[in-house]
């Protein structure tokens, strides 16, 4: 549920020469990392996401700049602002998400529990809702 989707504070080695953050699968992130992808060169006003995953676990990090993630489990919504390289938003399976409010030059990195699979997506909000609320 939406309460499982939490901002995780990642280890941060502070240093006057520049900070360092590291992430290890299954220890800092509650899944094994099988894929990494990132969004960049996002034009002002653009929205990404707009889908849910059936089984995929993800950790979303603002590597540079900032953006918002709107989570929706079909009942409840919450908007999370990400703007720190040492904070990751864990997104569990069966969670509709939209990303917006990208600052210029922002980079959104996503750690994922599986390889890309179009069959793992709900692309239609109505089919996501019927899966969440079977009548
Ligand atoms: P999509 O998941 O819809 O992007 P968003 O990050 O906005 O949610 O993916 C956009 C396109 O990129 C879509 O055609 C599928 C393709 N894609 C891959 O080929 N591999 C990947 O790992 C990802 C995330 C997307």
Instruction: Say how far residue 17 (Cα) sits from the centre of its chain.
Output: 29
43, 36 contact by CB (below 8 A):
no
Structural domains counted in the chain:
1
Element (H or E) spanning 126, and its range? helix 125-132
Is 48's C-beta closer than 6 angstroms to any atom of ligand 1? yes
Answer whether 37 contacts ligand 1 (Cβ < 6 A).
Answer: yes
Q: Is 53 annotated in the active site?
A: no
**With the C-alpha atoms ordered 133, 3, 103, 121, is the resulting torsion angle positive or negative?**
negative
Q: 121: domain CATH number?
A: 2.60.120.10
**25 C-beta closer than 6 A to ligand 1:** no
Question: How long, in residues, is the chain?
Answer: 135
Q: What is the pLDDT along the chain (135 residues), one digit of tens a residue?
A: 999 999 999 999 999 999 999 999 889 999 999 999 999 999 999 999 999 999 999 999 999 999 999 999 999 999 999 999 999 999 999 999 999 999 999 999 999 999 999 999 999 999 999 999 876
Point out the catalytic residue in the list 28, 51, 57, 81: 51
Its domain, for residue 110, covers: 2-132
97 alpha carbon to ligand 1 midpoint, in Å?
13
User: How do strand 58-64 and strand 87-91 relate by DSSP bridges?
Assistant: antiparallel
- Decide whether any atom of ligand 1 lies within 6 Å of the 38 Cβ: no
User: What pTM value is reported for the model?
Assistant: 0.97
Q: Indicate which atom in ligand 1 lies nearest the CA of residue 121.
A: 2
């Amino acid at each position: 549920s939406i309460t499982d989707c939490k901002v995780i504070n990642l280890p941060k080695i502070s240093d006057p020469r520049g900070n360092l953050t590291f992430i290890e699968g299954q220890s800092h992130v509650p899944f094994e990392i099988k894929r990494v992808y990132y969004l960049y060169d996002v034009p002002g006003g653009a929205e990404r996401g707009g889908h849910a995953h059936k089984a995929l676990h993800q950790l979303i990090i603002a590597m540079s700049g900032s953006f918002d993630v709107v989570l929706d489990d079909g009942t409840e919504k919450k908007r999370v602002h990400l703007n720190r390289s040492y904070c990751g938003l864990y997104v569990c399976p069966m969670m509709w998400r939209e990303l917006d409010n990208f600052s210029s030059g922002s980079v959104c990195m996503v750690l994922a529990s599986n390889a890309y699979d179009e069959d793992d997506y709900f692309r239609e909000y109505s089919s996501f809702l019927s899966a969440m609320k079977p009548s």
